[in-house]
Structure 1
Amino acid sequence: MIVPIASNILIIERTIRMAGVSSMLLFFLFVILISQVSAHIGGTCDYSMVGNYTANSTYNTNLNTLLSTLSSNTEINYGFYNFSHGQSPDRVNAIGLCRGDVEPDECRSCLNYARSNLTQDCPNQKEAIIHFDNCMLRYSNRTIFGQVETFPGYCVQNLSNVTDEDEFKQAIVNLMRKLKDVAASGDSRRKYATDNVTTGNFETIYGLVQCTPDLSETQCNYCLDETISQIPYCCNLTFCGGAARPSCNIRFENYRFYKLTTVLDPEIPPSSPAPPPFADTSPEPEESGNTIVIMISIVVPTIVVVLLICLCLYLRRRKARKNLVVKEDEIEDEIKIAESLQFNFNTIQVATEDFSDSNKLGQGGFGAVYRGRLSNGQMIAVKRLSRDSGQGDTEFKNEVLLVAKLQHRNLVRLLGFCLEGNERLLVYEYVPNKSLDYFIFDPNMKAQLDWESRYKIIRGITRGLLYLHEDSRLRVIHRDLKASNILLDEEMHPKIADFGMARLFLVDQTHANTTRIVGTCGYMAPEYAMHGQFSVKSDVFSFGVLVLEILSGQKNSGIHHGENVEDLLSFAWRSWKEQTAINIVDPSLNNNSRNEMMRCIHIGLLCVQENLADRPTMATIMLMLNSYSLSLPIPTKPAFYKNSRNRSLPGSSESMIKSAQESENEASITELYAR
């Protein structure tokens, strides 16, 4: 919690005044000292998906070398630092960003302090980030330059409340949007803006926004939009201080917490010194009344003032013209992005060896998937859509563009698309280790997944779904989460696949319900299978089934007890009631992590409760996995299955069950809609 420094200074000032006027010198020294201190906002080294490095390794050496340059680096222009050191796979990339009003020496001090804290708090972590009031420092073994990253995010709380929440909300939204446009239009030196606004209740709000200067204007706008949209949830409409993310940050207070800075002139290149202010050096008129000297001393300043006024008018008109074409520039940017995502059909044809059977990875309701290799050596996965989606080329491009913007390390990344005649191809990153079901349901392959690996997979799926439900630009409901839609990369990190297919296949549906049940029997929530109603809670149900499958190594369709077959949810619930829940755990796993296993069983049962209101959100599930001090509620009876094909649900009809069964092999369907 950040307490305003100004209020502390007032208390100290009163104390010093009581001691006498001679103590004012100590007061000023203390103010100077307090201005150099950065309050800690937040940080994390919980990048378990990235991994650790060992002491005295090449990565450790590269990291120490890179961070040590902070103290001697002379190229921290305008408070921004981005350097790399070493060669892949031990290459270290680092970004340091100081608040736009912080002086260079103060910036280096803050970054050095952040460096020492980061390496102490996150020993042996390949990726970490820390935020202070005056600066942010992060490093990673992956590319982070020019990338928009909004996770993880941190809120900065404050104790002050507001008088009128509605009026405050409107005022802060207007201020943040105004500052966002100014900051995003900054150049490669600084993307930073400050201003204040006074509400009708005479409350003055001071605001600040900032992006890392390596972002484009579009990227900066996106990051700030995401951050500003979370303020009501983060701070509950108080003078909260703001929010910080890897690529941008915002802050607002009821006191001026920043120093006034000079606006950078876009006509002056970064390496050029700013022009000195005009100074009147004309001599004093002599007592003899020299008229020429008097005229010069009057005319020259007047001419300069007139020139300055003309310059200001010119800059104002140029800014107005720039605002008029902002929309056009955004449209042009969208077109350029779409063009960069479009692949030539011949390129894909060559990469997949003309879609040969030897490169075929699988077949689904949406079409076949092929492995390919581009001319630069990059491996790709290509989906060849087998049916017309009913969309025109322009609509198809727009939908692909939306899905391509959904980027997270636990999602399979869409690289682009191809349109030629009736051919519609989607190009994804290639994930080499097949899907999760290939491992956990195979008696021989499941031995490769110990509990640590399975727990890592559960956490990774949680992060991916949390991003889709709450942190992405669009709210995404997957609607077909299952083991075969979880792909594993070379380090067995999970990546959710088929999370954008609804945008590519027009289905008779709305944001809340559908007349056609499309998904996989066994993973569908009861309200979706029975009534076509879907929400984030239907994804949570599928997640719960998936967690129990990962724990047991058994398909949800049934567990065999001699001649008897019992579905997984029934078996898990019965074992829980009989206090023998540990019996559902895969026998190939040891019991060294019994507490984690039991907690995951508990979470899985909470997710598959029949009443969707009782199921937790993905944000709550993330807290449950990360905090063992958080007590979990007692689960209620889940929705049962009689067998692997039919649900035992009240009021179920044969036609509805038949519809669910027939849709088992249909295309994966995901619903996306703007926040």
Structure 2
Amino acid sequence: MKMRFNSYFSILLLLFLLSFPCVISDSIWSTCNNASTYTEGSTYSSNIHRVITDLVRNTPQSSGFNTSSFGQSPNKVYGLLQCTGNISAEKCSTCSRQANKTLRVYCPNDIGGRVWMDDCFLRYENYNFISTLVTQISVLSDWRDVTSNVKNFGFTTSSLLFNLSNQAYNPANNLFAVGKANYSPSEQVYGLVQCWRDLSIPDCRECLLTARQAVENCCSTSRGNKAVSGSCTVRYEIYPFYDSGEESPHPTISTPPSPEVPSLPKTTSETKSNKKFSKFLPIILGLGGGIIIAVVIFLIVIRKKIRAAILGIAETVLNHHG
């Protein structure tokens, strides 16, 4: 009886949680090294502070990308800061400072961590990860699907991200491209692809391919998706989420080759992740629908139990009188 109740409760809890879609806008996503922690005031702590301070101060003036390292093993710290595309130095500086604060909240005293903001990415570790491809991808999705021109939406989005990736491979574009395309006469989808500038062109190609495939395999009809890794990011939305000044010349939408098979992923030392979202927005309709479904299932279960109990009592009474 107790096991059955736990099963019913788990189902209801799952339905309730599914009613809260993850919203990409202003999203923050972080992972922590989790291998070990450091003590405040230690040599490693001082080295982290020096590396991140150097990144936050110099990256906005270095075209939005910089790496830094300081110290001697085993207390040496490596860091990387990448701002999105060609945003202004002011925006890059603001995002860099916020990323530093956010990482301290999400990964306090952790020997390594990463944080993805809307306009920048910050990472530090106790090992040299610079120019090393990370193939592990996480997808942050708006689980609400588009409701019109669904088939053409998926095709257009896939083609847009494919063409933007081809633009990003050009070293002159700093491994970055944004653009938009119409999936109906009056509706557009906006896309962004970017590799961190420490990557080689072949590694950037593999990272973006893996990210695009992760989006397509997960939720290609969602109104928005953001695939992130420690080396690149791919994002699309049905609204403008980047500065219009960043937009690349509109590419001619061409069909991506099918299937597009990547080479085998490189082996990377990925530690356990501590993933957290900073913002969740409950959608009233989704929440209401989830609760209604949960309540209906609950009532059905209760009704069956009451009916079974009544039948059991009736049977007992009949047997007694018989």
| Cα separation, 1, equivalents of 2:193 and 2:104 | 27
| Cα separation, 2, equivalents of 1:181 and 1:104 | 26
For residue 178 of structure 1, the aligned residue among 163, 182, 187 is 163
Percent identity between matched residues is 27
1:409 aligns with 2:251: no
1:225 aligns with 2:246: no
- Tell which has more relative contact order, 1 or 2 (C-alpha 8 A, sep 6+): 2
1:2 aligns with 2:23: yes
Q: 1:80·1:97 contact (CA, 8 Å) conserved in 2?
A: yes
1:131 aligns with 2:116: yes
Change over 3 Å in CA distance of 1:248–1:168 after alignment to 2? same
Corresponding residue SS for 2:223:
coil
Q: 1:120 maps to which residue?
A: 105
For residue 164 of structure 1, the aligned residue among 149, 161, 183 is 149
Q: 1:162·1:168 contact (CA, 8 Å) conserved in 2?
A: no
Alignment root-mean-square deviation, CA: 2.6
Q: 1:205·1:254 contact (CA, 8 Å) conserved in 2?
A: yes
Amino acid at match of 1:127: G
Which aligned pairs between 1:35-184 and structure 2 lie closer than 5 A?
39-45=26-32, 47-48=33-34, 50-73=35-58, 76-151=61-136, 153-157=138-142, 159=144, 161-184=146-169
Which aligned pairs between 1:249-648 and structure 2 lie closer than 5 A?
249-261=233-245, 405-409=265-269
| Cα separation, 1, equivalents of 2:175 and 2:106 | 29
Amino acid at match of 2:28: I
Shift of 1:227: 0.3
| Cα separation, 2, equivalents of 1:200 and 1:72 | 44
Q: 2:231 maps to which residue?
A: 247
1:214 aligns with 2:198: yes
With structure 2 as the length reference, what TM-score do the two structures score?
A: 0.67
Shift of 1:117: 1.4
Amino acid at match of 1:256: P
Shift of 1:174: 0.8
| Cα separation, 2, equivalents of 1:208 and 1:93 | 27
| Cα separation, 1, equivalents of 2:171 and 2:247 | 10
Shift of 1:201: 5.6
Q: Deviations over 1:504-561 (max 9, x none)?
A: xxxxxxxxxxxxxxxxxxxxxxxxxxxxxxxxxxxxxxxxxxxxxxxxxxxxxxxxxx
Corresponding residue SS for 1:250:
strand
Change over 3 Å in CA distance of 1:154–1:52 after alignment to 2? farther
| Cα separation, 1, equivalents of 2:126 and 2:203 | 22
Q: Deviations over 1:431-466 (max 9, x none)?
A: xxxxxxxxxxxxxxxxxxxxxxxxxxxx97xx9xxx
Q: 2:66·2:82 contact (CA, 8 Å) conserved in 1?
A: yes
| Cα separation, 1, equivalents of 2:137 and 2:110 | 16
Corresponding residue SS for 2:115:
strand
| Cα separation, 1, equivalents of 2:137 and 2:165 | 20
| Cα separation, 2, equivalents of 1:223 and 1:166 | 26
Corresponding residue SS for 1:61:
helix
1:197 aligns with 2:181: yes
Shift of 1:191: 1.4
Which structure is larger by alpha-carbon Rg, 1 or 2? 1
Q: Deviations over 1:76-133 (max 9, x none)?
A: 4221121111122211111111111421111011111110110122112111111111
Change over 3 Å in CA distance of 1:409–1:262 after alignment to 2? closer
With structure 1 as the length reference, what TM-score do the two structures score?
A: 0.33
Change over 3 Å in CA distance of 1:239–1:145 after alignment to 2? same
Equivalent residues, number:
238
| Cα separation, 2, equivalents of 1:158 and 1:132 | 20
Gapped regions of structure 1 (runs ≥ 5): 5-38, 265-401, 411-458, 464-675
Q: 2:145·2:221 contact (CA, 8 Å) conserved in 1?
A: no
